[in-house]
Every structure is written in structure tokens, then in C-alpha cells.
Amino acid sequence: MKYSPLLILILFFTTSCYENTRDCKDFQEGTFIWEQESGGRLLKTEFTRTKDFQIERFESKVDTSRIEWVNDCEWRVIPIDPKTNAESRAYLFKILTTSKNSYTFEFKQSGRDQIYKGSATKK
């Protein structure tokens, strides 16, 4: 099968020019909202992150965790006062893309293979 040189050039330029935007430093600190649907309900978590700590508010619970930055776009969330062994596991987060006031991310719990995705909006 022959391909037109023009078609090859068009494909090259349209795919090579696409780049995900990742201005991660804009999202290292601040207050954010993360919404997710579970069991037909919209769940909303608000969290405030500084360079060293993250405070999460979900329904009537407040959790505080320590933050360890791996690089500008990846960090670990380590619970400060876990009540159970399951709660003591750290989570690794990675920003995938950013926009003006939000970012998409993936995360997984330490020792687990399953990766979850979400998006957060800066307040």
C-alpha cells in the first residue's frame, strides 16, 4: 500500500505537535476540590495542600497527612495518625495534565498495583 508524502507529513505534524501541558508547580499548594462518582452518588473531597502537609475534608472526617515531593509533578501522601494498618499506607500521586485552574492525576496506594485517576479543581 502506498502512502502519499503529503499524508505522512500531515500525520507527523499533527501528532508531534501535541503535548500535554504540565505546569505542576501551580498546583503544589492551595485548596482543591476533587469530585468522583461512586455507587450513584457524587462524592466531594476538599483538601488543602502546602509543601509539607495535606488536610483532607470528606463528609464529616478530617485527615492530615505529610507530603513528600518526589519531583515537581509527583508526591507521596503519608498519613500522620492512622487508626488502622490499612490507613497507614502511603499514596503516590502524579499530575498528568494541567489547565488554568485544574489538573488530572493518577494515584495508587503503596503496595498495590491498581491505579486510579481523577481531576482536582483549585478553589
Q: Is the dihedral of CA 74, 68, 123, 55 positive or negative?
A: positive
Which residue range forms the structural domain that includes residue 83? Answer: 20-122
Task: Give domain status of residue 13, yes or no.
Answer: no
Tens-digit pLDDT profile for residues 2-52: 555 554 545 455 545 555 678 999 999 999 999 988 888 999 999 999 999
Query: What pLDDT, on the 0 to 100 scale, is given for residue 88?
Result: 87
Quote the number of domains for the chain. Answer: 1
Q: Which residues pair with 109 in a beta bridge?
A: 91
Task: Give domain status of residue 26, yes or no.
Answer: yes
Residue 120 clears pLDDT 60, i.e. is over it: yes
- Residue 46, exposed/middle/buried by CB under 10 A (0-12, 13-18, 19+)? middle
Indicate the pTM of the whole model: 0.79
Tens-digit pLDDT profile for residues 81-118: 888 887 889 999 999 999 999 999 999 999 899 999 99
Nearest alpha carbon to residue 123 among 54, 53, 46, 56: 46
Task: Give domain status of residue 51, yes or no.
Answer: yes
For position 110, which CATH number holds?
A: 2.40.128
Query: What pLDDT, on the 0 to 100 scale, is given for residue 84?
Result: 85
Tens-digit pLDDT profile for residues 60-72: 899 999 999 999 9
Helix, strand or coil for residue 3?
A: coil
Task: Give domain status of residue 56, yes or no.
Answer: yes
Task: Give domain status of residue 9, yes or no.
Answer: no
